[in-house]
Every structure is written in structure tokens, then in C-alpha cells.
């Protein structure tokens, strides 16, 4: 199956522009520290990045000390990303042939639009999965199942959402040096950030996500069969890149905040089904990490994103789902061929998207 991840860094109305070039500075003695002292801006070059990509779109149902983890049978994918200035495109391919047949067959489709600007960045994603399996050893023992996995081909989920962040210390800290690699962070630096996030999550199945053997031990109101959940809110956070030996780096970013959630779900136990509609406040966390080597013409490393959501289901029970990925990459940068220089120059004139040069 083909999974397409299209990166189109279009800042549009989200971008906060200044009147002129980036003029903030740090005074050290008589010397003015500029952004270029902390960051090499290489967006004028072309990034070519082959990578291996593994997604993790699991969810966990937790109730009465029972923890049931559902995973789609997703195989690792290979891909290629091309990036120049504010425009990037990447594709991944993950063949079904390498899925573990004992875990059933999963259909999955991911589309992600994202941008990492100097000040503002965003992710917009759609993720669909059909076909899950349970592999918890404790669950299989409790249910007296002889097979290695409990297969749920009827179970499907869809997720649509966005995360938009603002960096407060964008004069010294570069997010895209670690995740897009069209800049180089030359000095250790960090930044507080604020993320505005919204998401829509839908789950649907022929029967409850609670296996039959557990249904007598869990309250009906929590035995989710289908439902939709809308979540939105603000998450403050902090990001730090540590630079060592000039070219090696490690980046850690964590955001955590309070979200407002609108729930509409159906809980089914046997022939009885309850309709639950309610609004409530929850908490949520988002983490990004990356580490590797970054020089002018060569870079490599590993990066990961963990986006965790919490859905209370009543009676103290809950559903937790995560949208994450791990990427192993190696890439290089080349100069834009002269015959395409006019196209590159036009990209600098696109309103609201093009960026002014660093001082």
C-alpha cells in the first residue's frame, strides 16, 4: 500500500511577519550577536532525504486494572523527501507483503501537511486505519485464547487534526534544523513555545472494543463500540537543542496543556447500547525528539513524534490513543541549478510565505 506524506510549508495567514529583516540581537560587549551566529540558513539549497518511516497509531482501553492495547498491522515504509526554501514534497511506500500475517491485515492511509518556519510551524494530518490486533500477553491469558493475537478486522479509526506552534526565541533556536534539516543549529539554544491544537477522532466497530470475556467486569457506559471525539486547546512547552562537536545535535521538545473535549459515543454490552454525549476538560501532551549529525552537505539521524490523547469514558475508565512516528534518515544538500534560478527567485516573492534573509 502507498502512504503519501506531502510536506507543503505554506504559512499563509498563520505567519506573523515583521516590517523588514530580523533585527533582534544579543549584545555581548561591543559585538552584536545575530541569528546567523546561532543558525546557518541553507533553505536556498535543495535537500534530498531518503528515509525509513514507521508509524504508531495504537490505542489503549484501560478499565478496572485491565489494559487492552490495539495496534494496526503497519509495516515500516521507505521514502524520499525533496525540499527547497518553503516548498517540500515527500512520498513513502509500505508494501502489505511484509505485514505479519498472524496479526491480520490492516489498511492504512496517512496524509500530513507540515511547515517549520522561523517563528511559526504547523502540522495538519489525516490518518485512517482499518484492522487492529491485540497482543497483550496478560489479555490473552485472561481470555484463555490459544492464538498469539486477538484479531479485530472490523475495528477502524480515523483521525484529523492540526498543531500550530509559535517559537518565542526564534532568533537563536531553529526547529527546522532538527526536523527539516534546511538549517543548521550551530550553538546550544532553547525556546519556550505555545501550541494551539485541534483534533477529530472517530472509532467504529461491529461490537465493543471490550472483548467478550471482560464485559462482565466493566461498566456498560465504558464499553465503547463507536463514537466521535472533538478536542481543542492550548499547550505551552519548551524545546532545546544541544550541540556538541560542532555538527552533532540532540533536540527535545515537550508541550503539555489543558484541552476541551466534546464526546458523542455508543457503548454496547450484549444487546444493550447506551448513547453518551458530554463535554469535559482533559489534559494532553505532545513530544518531539531528534538526534544526529548536521553539516552543510551531509546530515543523518533519527527523529520521532509522540502525540498523545486522553478520552475519559465514565466510571473512571478511559481510552488513550497516540499518533506518532519514528524516522531514520540520511540526506544531502545540493545547490540549485542555474537554469532553475528564476523559479527559485520567484519563490522569494510569494506573499506571506517567502522569508527575508537572516542578518
pLDDT tens, residue by residue, 132-188: 999 888 899 888 888 889 999 999 999 999 999 999 999 999 999 999 999 999 999
User: Which 8-state DSSP code applies to residue 12?
Assistant: G
Q: What are the boundaries of each domain within the chain?
A: 2-347
pLDDT band at 9; cut points 50, 70, 90: very low
pLDDT tens for 187-227 read 999 999 999 999 999 999 998 999 988 988 888 888 899 99
Q: SS3 letters for 167-221?
A: ECCCCCCCCHHHHCCCEEECCCEEEEEEEEEEEEEEEECCCCCCCHHHHHHCCHH
- In CATH, 2-347 is 2.40.128: yes
Q: What is the pLDDT of residue 19?
A: 29
89-135 pLDDT, tens per residue? 888 777 666 667 888 888 888 888 777 888 988 888 898 999 999 98
Please state whether the predicted TM-score (pTM) of the whole model is above 0.85. Answer: no
pLDDT band at 1 (very low <50, low <70, confident <90, very high): very low
Q: Which residues contact 339 (CB under 8 A, 6 or more apart)?
A: none
pLDDT over 90 at 232, yes or no? yes
φ/ψ region of 212 (left if φ > 0, alpha if ψ in -120 to 50, else beta) reads alpha
Amino acid at each position: 500500500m502507498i502512504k503519501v506524506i506531502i510536506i507543503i510549508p505554506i504559512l499563509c495567514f498563520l505567519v506573523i511577519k515583521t516590517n523588514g529583516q530580523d533585527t533582534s540581537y544579543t549584545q555581548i560587549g561591543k559585538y552584536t550577536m545575530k541569528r546567523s551566529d546561532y543558525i546557518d540558513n541553507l533553505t536556498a539549497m535543495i535537500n534530498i532525504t531518503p528515509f525509513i518511516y514507521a508509524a504508531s497509531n495504537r490505542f489503549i482501553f484501560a478499565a478496572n486494572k485491565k489494559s487492552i492495547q490495539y495496534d494496526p498491522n503497519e509495516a515500516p515504509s521507505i521514502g524520499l523527501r525533496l525540499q527547497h526554501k518553503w516548498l517540500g514534497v515527500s512520498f513513502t511506500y509500505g508494501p502489505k507483503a511484509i505485514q505479519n500475517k498472524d496479526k491480520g491485515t490492516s489498511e492504512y492511509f496517512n496524509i500530513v501537511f507540515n511547515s517549520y518556519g522561523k517563528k511559526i510551524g504547523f502540522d495538519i494530518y489525516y490518518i485512517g486505519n482499518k484492522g487492529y490486533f491485540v497482543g497483550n500477553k496478560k489479555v490473552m491469558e485472561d481470555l484463555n485464547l490459544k492464538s498469539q493475537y486477538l484479531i479485530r478486522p472490523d475495528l477502524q479509526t480515523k483521525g484529523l487534526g492540526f498543531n500550530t506552534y509559535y517559537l518565542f526565541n526564534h532568533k537563536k533556536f531553529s526547529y527546522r534544523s532538527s526536523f527539516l534539516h534546511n538549517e543548521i543549529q550551530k550553538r546550544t539554544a532553547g525556546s519556550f513555545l505555545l501550541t494551539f491544537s485541534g483534533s477529530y477522532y472517530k472509532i467504529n466497530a461491529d461490537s465493543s472494543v471490550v472483548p467478550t470475556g471482560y464485559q462482565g467486569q466493566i461498566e456498560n457506559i465504558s464499553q465503547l463500540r463507536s463514537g466521535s471525539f472533538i478536542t481543542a486547546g492550548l499547550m505551552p512547552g519548551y524545546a532545546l537543542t544541544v550541540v556538541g562537536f560542532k555538527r552533532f545535535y540532540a533536540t527535545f521538545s515537550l508541550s503539555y496543556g489543558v484541552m476541551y473535549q466534546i464526546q458523542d459515543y455508543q457503548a454496547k454490552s450484549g444487546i444493550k447500547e447506551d448513547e453518551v454525549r458530554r463535554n469535559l476538560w482533559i489534559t494532553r501532551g505532545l513530544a518531539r525528539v531528534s538526534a544526529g549529525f548536521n553539516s552543510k552537505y551531509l546530515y543523518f539521524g533519527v527523529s520521532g513524534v509522540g502525540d498523545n490523547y486522553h478520552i475519559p469514558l465514565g466510571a473512571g475508565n478511559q481510552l488513550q490513543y497516540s499518533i506518532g512516528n519514528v524516522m531514520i534518515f540520511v540526506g544531502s544538500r545540493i545547490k540549485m541549478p542555474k537554469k532553475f534560478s528564476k523559479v527559485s527567485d520567484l519563490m522569494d516573492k510569494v506573499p506571506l510565505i517567502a522569508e527575508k534573509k537572516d542578518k
